[in-house]
Amino acid sequence: RRRVHGEIININTGKNPLEILVQACINGGAREDSTRIGSGGQVKKQAVDVSPLRRVNQAIYLISIGVRESAMKNVKSVAEVLADELIAAAKGDSKSYAIRKKDEIEKVAKGNR
């Protein structure tokens, strides 16, 4: 019998899979980003706060990209890779692709303040 990612998350953590998903979305989205501000032909980057909806969308996007890249070069099933990515993102572990990218985005934004 094949296991779905929800069962894998429950077995590995003992927690509700939806709780892990919500926590992964909270931890996976960047709080600060940088945008281009142009005036008079000059373009500079400015740090801006990110709206809550964009944070959730960005977290889901980064998690899905991380799962796709990990599953390509892995013998694990996509469900197992997804479960691992969600658990790592929920913990805030830097082995998660979403957390690494979020930290990178926030680091760039911090430099543009």
Q: Residue 57 pLDDT more than 90?
A: yes
Backbone phi and psi for residue 32, each to the nearest 5 degrees, phi listed first: -140, 140
- pLDDT at position 17 is 87
Per the DSSP assignment, residues forming a β-bridge with 36 are 45
pLDDT (average), residues 12-21: 88
CB 82 within 8 A of CB 4: no
- pLDDT at position 46 is 87
> Which pLDDT tens digit goes with each residue over 67-99?
999 898 788 888 888 999 999 999 998 899 999
Q: What's the mean per-residue pLDDT of the chain?
A: 88
Q: Residue 1 pLDDT more than 70?
A: no
The model's pTM is: 0.85
Per the DSSP assignment, residues forming a β-bridge with 45 are 36
**Distance from chain centroid for Cα 18:** 16
